[in-house]
Chain A
Amino acid sequence: MEIALAVLIGMFFTVSIYLLLSRAIIRMLLGIAILGNGVNLLIFTAGRLTKEIPPIIPMGQDGLIEPFANPLPQALILTAIVIGFALFTFLLVLGYRAYQELDADDTDTMRLAEPERAPRPPLSY
């Protein structure tokens, strides 16, 4: 199972890196989203896969009965999903605003902050 998931994570990463290498912002956004999912899957796999019962203490017991699923990776992933979602939303809105205002989805044409024909370096001292 780990091997299958590792292959899947590899595919996620491949697709996301391919998309991130694009110049179009919307593709980069999709790449970021897929990369985030791949990373979450990676954390999940790294926490060891168990198909056992959920880690909830049964009624009348003091502690967990083994075997049980590892709850920590799930907590980490939940946090990462929430944060990743927030940042992704921000980037999405930012990309949309940039598309409206700069009329550019191609990073090559976004040259306001770094002018395309940069002025020659000052030669005098």
Chain B
Amino acid sequence: MNTVIFRTIAPILVAIMVVFSVFILLRGHNEPGGGFIGGLIAASAIAIYGIAAGVEEVRKALKFDPIAIAGFGVFIAGLAGLLSYFYQVPFLTGLWAYLDIGPSKVALSTPLLFDIGVYFAVLGTIAAIALALEEDEEGK
């Protein structure tokens, strides 16, 4: 796997995949996509980078521990549910706010926040598993 071509292409591929995963995450509410599938794409990007550059490098690039990222995701998702407390509606009720930015209207909502949480949770968990497995391979 450790060819020059792969090592050269990998950073570009990873960058494209991460951007694409964010795109998939954001289009998720009304169209196919969402946090889960976005998180999976981002995690596969990390796994690819791990194969190309080595696990040590990835851990350095990630800054945070993958499991901590997963925890952050769950925390954000929980927070998205708790926000509805301030509007006297049940837990996890969707709340919407619209931002006017120039010509377009941006819809912000708690489902989006929840989906971002899912994104991080999936990204963190799968990345942790992938990196652990790759580390195991390298150790041999």
Contacts and interface: CB of A to CB of B under 8 A. Distances in A.
Contacts of A86: 125
Contacts of B36: 82
A82 B125 CA distance: 12
B130 to A, nearest CB: 11
Contacts of B129: 89
Main secondary structure of the interface of A (DSSP, over half): helix
Contacts of A82: 36
Interface size class of A (residues with CB under 8 A): under 10
A89 B133 CA distance: 12
Interface in B104-140: 125, 129
Interface string A80-121: 001000100100000000000000000000000000000000
A61 to B, nearest CB: 14
Interface in B28-42: 36
Nearest to A78: B36
Contacts of B125: 86
A2 B129 CA distance: 38
Interface of B: 36, 125, 129
Interface of A: 82, 86, 89
**3 closest pairs, A vs B, by CB?**
A89-B129, A82-B36, A86-B125
3 contacts: A82-B36, A86-B125, A89-B129
